[in-house]
Structure 1
Amino acid sequence: MDFSSEPVIRVKDACIFQGFNAILQNVNFSIAKDEFVFLIGRTGSGKSSLLKTLYADLDLKMGEAEIVGFNLQKIKKNEVPYLRRKLGIVFQDFQLFPDRSIAENIFFVMKATGWKDKMKMKSRMAEVLMQVNLGDSATKMPHQLSGGEQQRVVIARALINQPSILLADEPTGNLDPEVADGVFKLFQEINSQGTAILMATHNHDLLRKYPYRVLKCEKGQLLDSKTSDITINTSF
């Protein structure tokens, strides 16, 4: 494995567990600071478990892994919030508070990650909402936004701390094709500005249309298109 490009993620000889079950074995890969990488595989193949391990929601029990400078095998519970300040995490199901405005949803994350100056918080919130083309939505409630707009809020929230990498778990899975394409292009814009992207997806049209590197969870292994021939089909 070539680590010469100062990767934001590097994993060596890792075993990914869900409870007591080993979902993926002998996992080896690295992601450079400006890469866009797809993560694919059938439901239950280990995609979400791998992502959860990377943001320390699941323990790394075997092997080595480092992400944005944190050793996941040695990380302590009180260090996990600091790790997540350097990551952006985008979920499929939005996870927005329905009874709080968009501004309040974003402020909640800012306070949880150490922001205290209200003027700086307002300024940064305005920046990220503009970045995702929702500059006039701060006072709206989540139910007043479309699914695509809510996902853009989630992306804005993930960008608050200027992360080195975004981990995205099926971010277009609940969106219709046209809206999904717009959200995907937003990820491309973010990537073009120097943020690495690791995106789990079942959308084979995206994979055929955009020839990014692919990691595939299959039969307990993680295949890498850099070193393996990976067929893109509808079987995942």
Structure 2
Amino acid sequence: MTEPVLELREATIQQEGQPVLADVSFALQKSEFSYLVGRTGSGKSSLLKTLYADLPLLSGSGTVAGFALPKLPASKIPYLRRKLGIVFQDFQLLSDRTVAENLLFVLNATGWKTKTSKQQRIIDVLGRVGLTGATNRLPHRLSGGEQQRVVIARAMLNEPVLLLADEPTGNLDPEVSDDIMRLFAEINNSGTAILMATHNFQLIDKYPHRVLTCKDGQLLDSARSLN
């Protein structure tokens, strides 16, 4: 078996200096899809933030996309994040820039050089999420579902090995949520691993995958309970 795209061993996940999850051990393989569930405050977002190095891993071991998380130098964090796609519930799009300009901002920040390659990549990812005609529109001119598609396109710019999604359907109605899940399935089937935090158990029932549950300071793994 190839090296996992994500692996934690006996990790303690902390928020504001306080442990919220202890003895966390799990791995995610290439092309695997897993949900992350749990009540508000149970540690889901803190776990995701640890994985993209917004919070330090102070205890235990962990690797993400080939980067060791403990003592990861600040200078290496941008290189880790180039291997990841991150999808937020609240979109975090630049409101004064068009869709294309939002994507161009990321490409410029992550080292893309030629104008032609950047333009082509923007066309490619917008085509992939079904928004080819939206390049010159401002975010506020888009529906919530369209804005989330732009966020997913932004997350896919650097062909990530792992997509981390924090409540990506939390602000969307059921029909649009289904569209986003189908898009995630396409991305996952093309080889990108996905870890998706959600409260939406209807989606989990409709699109079943492995479930990681944050509960009482522990991370419970449905894959482990089946073995």
Q: What range describes the TM-score normalised by the shorter chain of this pair?
A: over 0.9
Within the candidate set 193, 199, 217, 2:190 is matched to: 193
Deviations 1:118-169 (A, max 9, x none): 1100000000000000001000010111000000000000000000010000
Where do 1:1-236 residues align within 5 Å? Answer: 4-228=1-225
1:19, 1:93 → 2: CA distance?
22
Unaligned runs of 5+ in 2: none
Q: Distance in 1 between matches of 2:17 and 2:81?
A: 25
Q: CA RMSD in A?
A: 0.8
Q: Offset at 1:74?
A: 2.7
Counterpart of 1:83 in 2: which secondary structure? helix
Give the Cα separation in 2 of the matches to 1:67 and 1:112.
21
- Distance apart, 1:209 and its partner CA: 1.4
My pick for the range that moved more, 107-116 or 122-131, is: 107-116
Counterpart residue identity of residue 136, structure 1: G
Give the counterpart letter for 2:149 in structure 1.
Answer: R
- Kindly state the Cα deviation for residue 210 of structure 1 after the two structures are TM-superposed: 1.8
CA distance in 2, matches of 1:226, 1:168: 20
Which amino acid counterpart does residue 120 of structure 2 have in structure 1?
S
SS at match of 1:226: helix
User: Structure 1: how far apart are the matches of 2:205 and 2:172?
Assistant: 18
AA in 1 matched with 2:9 = K
* 2: CA distance, partners of 1:5 / 1:137: 38
In the aligned structure 2, how far is the partner of 1:113 from the partner of 1:150? 22
Identical-pair percentage: 59
- Structure 1 distance, partners of 2:214, 2:42, is 6
**AA at the equivalent of 1:55:** Y
Counterpart-to-counterpart distance in 1, 2:122 and 2:17: 41
- Which one-letter code corresponds to 1:148 in the other structure? G
Report which of the two has the higher share of helix. 2
Alpha-carbon displacement from aligned partner over 1:152-191 (angstroms, at most 9, x marks no partner): 0000000000000100000000000000110111000000
Cα distance in 1 between the residues matched to 2:2 and 2:74 = 29
How many pairs are equivalent?
Answer: 226
Structure 1's consecutive aligned runs of 4 or more residues displaced over 6 angstroms after TM superposition are none
Instruction: Show the counterpart of 1:234.
Output: none
Query: How much does 1:101 deviate?
Result: 0.4
Distance 2:2 2:96 in 1: 44
Letter in 2 for 1:213: R
Deviations along 1:12-40, whole A, 9 cap, x unmatched?
Answer: 00000001110000000000001010000
Partners of 2:183 and 2:203 lie apart in 1 by: 13
Match of 2:72, SS? Answer: coil
SS for the counterpart of 2:133 is coil
Gaps of 5+ in 1: 230-236
Q: Which secondary structure does the structure 1 equivalent of 2:132 belong to?
A: coil
When the two structures are superposed, what TM-score results if normalisation uses the length of structure 2?
0.98
Q: Deviations over 1:31-65 (max 9, x none)?
A: 00010100000000000000000000000000000
